[in-house]
Amino acid sequence: MKHILKKYFIPHEENNYHPHILHTKRALLYSAVFVAMKCLVISFALLLPLQVFVMPDVLQEQGEKIIDLTNEIRTKKGLEPLRPFIKLYNSGQLKAQDMAEKEYFEHVGPDGRGLKDYMGTVEYEYKYAGENLAMGFADAQSLVNAWVNSPTHYANLIDTDYSEFGIGMRVGEFEGMPTVYVAQHFGAPKAVAGVKDVGGTNLKLSMDMVVADEGVGRDRPVPDATVEEIIENPEIPQINPYAQNEGRDIIPLMLADEGQSMPEELPSVVYNADVSRMYWKEEGDKTLVTVKAYVVGDVEDAMVRFHEYSIELFPSDQPFVYHGQVTIFGTAAKLFKVVTTPSISIRGVDGMLIQDTIMWNTVQVVNPTPVEKYTRAQTTLGGFTSIFKVSRNVYLGFIIFFALALVLKIFIAFRKQHHHVIIQTLLLIGLLVVLIEI
């Protein structure tokens, strides 16, 4: 046994100072085996059905990450973290289940039920309440990133009115593709309730303009940069507008409660979100995005933002219609890999600011690419299958093994070196490092 070990690992005269374990042919064989192992792991991930990514255990883990990431965002802003509350988990689950069963993605379902109804079902008496919806996300981090990158959705995450939250997740289908519906509910228990008025915005009109919108809800208008809090009726609960996803869509909603008092003066600018839309059309390897927004009043400027793009709006030949467009380099598949509801800001000549959302007319359902699917398998299934961990440990073990063999080769017979052996062993170790990172 000692003779065999010496022949394979120790450079000496009998093996011409060339340990057999590091022979060129063996190095090539090792490389082929290691690459084949990685190919098997990749094939395993690519052959997984999409349903695997929405298993209950996977959803539970992703839901916990969304909760943690939400509080991480608030903590970084110097805000108090939200407390998980069972009733808000239950209301979120009811909403997610309803969307999955009826295959819709809006704040208000086909039966007219909205956030206020789900809060009532679980008997949650609130001072303020809000809702973030999501669908088709890749993982928790990408979902939260999409919320953060949307001004209207981000507002819900950092709203100081909330003290509690919960999340519901449900597997369903959208346009024939398996997906996950997410409803994150925020709340503040009913104590001393108030009604917030936003500079010059008519509460009743705010409801009328977005009642058919999808995404997030709150019983007050969308806040602008200068919000003043006015206590008008201590018995009126409120629901907050805002947000939804990364993989499908994220949308805000405002609801006016029935007892709310009406401002005496109408707002100088009114935006109709029900009929305003964004359109897209592929033109070769480019995509033309067009905006058509319906606005009444004297407008100073208007802008739509989505992803990293901005579209300035101008009056059109049609009355009350503002339009704009931008050409994006890339197909619609690239545009809708992560779908979020675009935001629109409208400033009146009197300084009044409206911040709201504008819906896509249609969205394209995009299947994950092989690379995206493999990455998702690594990030979301790592705790449910050992194949990724085992392969990494195997590669790490062989890195240590060949590093030790190379050290013995170099230092035991320092004056008798084979430079090609040193180079090929270093390349083999480099290959293993690359395979670990893939």
Task: Assign residue 284 the CATH number of its domain.
Answer: 3.40.33.10
Residues 285 and 203 in one domain: yes
Model pLDDT for residues 110-138, shown as the tens digit of each residue: 898 989 999 999 999 999 999 888 877 77
Q: How far is Cα 416 from Cα 429, in angstroms, rounded to an integer?
A: 22
Q: How far is Cα 385 from Cα 362, in angstroms, rounded to an integer?
A: 37
Is there a contact between 48 and 372 (Cβ–Cβ < 8 Å)? no
Residues 325 and 426 in one domain: no
Last residue of some domain: 342, 375, 408? Answer: 375
Residues 119 and 10 in one domain: no
Q: Which residues of 398-431 are buried (b: 16+ CB within 10 A; e: fewer)?
A: bbeebeebbeebeeebeeeebeebeebbeebbeb
Q: Is 436 exposed, middle or buried (0-12, 13-18, 19+ CB in 10 A)?
A: middle
C-alpha separations of 337 from 106, 143, 146, 303 in Å: 20, 12, 11, 23
Structural domain including 330 reads 50-375
Alpha carbon 288 to its chain centroid, in Å, reads 24
At residue 330's C-alpha, the angle toward residues 327 and 335, to 5°, is 85
Residues 201 and 218 in one domain: yes
| Own/partner long-range contacts of 156-159 (Cβ < 8 Å, ≥24 apart) | 156/130, 156/131, 156/132, 156/186, 156/216, 156/218, 156/240, 156/241, 156/242, 156/243, 156/252, 157/70, 157/73, 157/74, 157/132, 157/243, 158/73, 158/74, 158/77, 158/79, 159/128, 159/130, 159/186, 159/240
Both tokens assigned to 177: 């593709």
Residues 365 and 390 in one domain: no
Model pLDDT for residues 140-167, shown as the tens digit of each residue: 888 888 788 777 778 899 999 999 999 9
Task: Work out the number of other CB atoms within 10 angstroms of the CB of residue 395.
Answer: 20
C-alpha separations of 141 from 138, 158, 341 in Å: 8, 17, 18
Distance between first and last Cα of the chain:
37
Total number of domains in the chain: 2
Last residue of some domain: 337, 360, 375? Answer: 375
In sequence order, which residues have a C-beta less than 8 Å from that of residue 31 and are 6 or more positions away?
Answer: 428, 431
Residues 337 and 313 in one domain: yes
Last residue of some domain: 349, 375, 401? Answer: 375
Both tokens assigned to 170: 């449900």
In sequence order, which residues have a C-beta less than 8 Å from that of residue 26 and are 6 or more positions away?
Answer: 20
pLDDT at res. 410? 86
Q: How far is Cα 335 from Cα 333, in angstroms, rounded to an integer?
A: 5
Residue 370 has pLDDT above 70, yes or no: yes
Assign 179 a pLDDT band (cuts: 50, 70, 90).
Answer: confident
Residue 40 has pLDDT above 70, yes or no: yes
Both tokens assigned to 60: 């539970």
Assign 307 a pLDDT band (cuts: 50, 70, 90).
Answer: confident
Residues 424 and 346 in one domain: no
pLDDT at res. 343? 85
CA atoms within 13 A on the CB side of 126: 33
Residues 55 and 42 in one domain: no
Point out the least confidently predicted range of 199-203, 217-221, 316-320, 321-325.
Answer: 199-203
| Average pLDDT in the chain | 79
Residues 7 and 120 in one domain: no
The predicted model gives 306-332 an average pLDDT of 92
Residue 325 has pLDDT above 90, yes or no: yes
Residues 213 and 323 in one domain: yes
Q: Is 100 left (phi over 0), alpha (psi -120 to 50) or beta?
A: alpha
pLDDT at res. 338? 64
Residues 216 and 282 in one domain: yes
Residues 26 and 82 in one domain: no
3 state DSSP class of 58: helix
Residue 282 has pLDDT above 80, yes or no: yes
Amino acid identity for residue 33 in this structure: V
The residue written with tokens 């209950």 in the block is 56
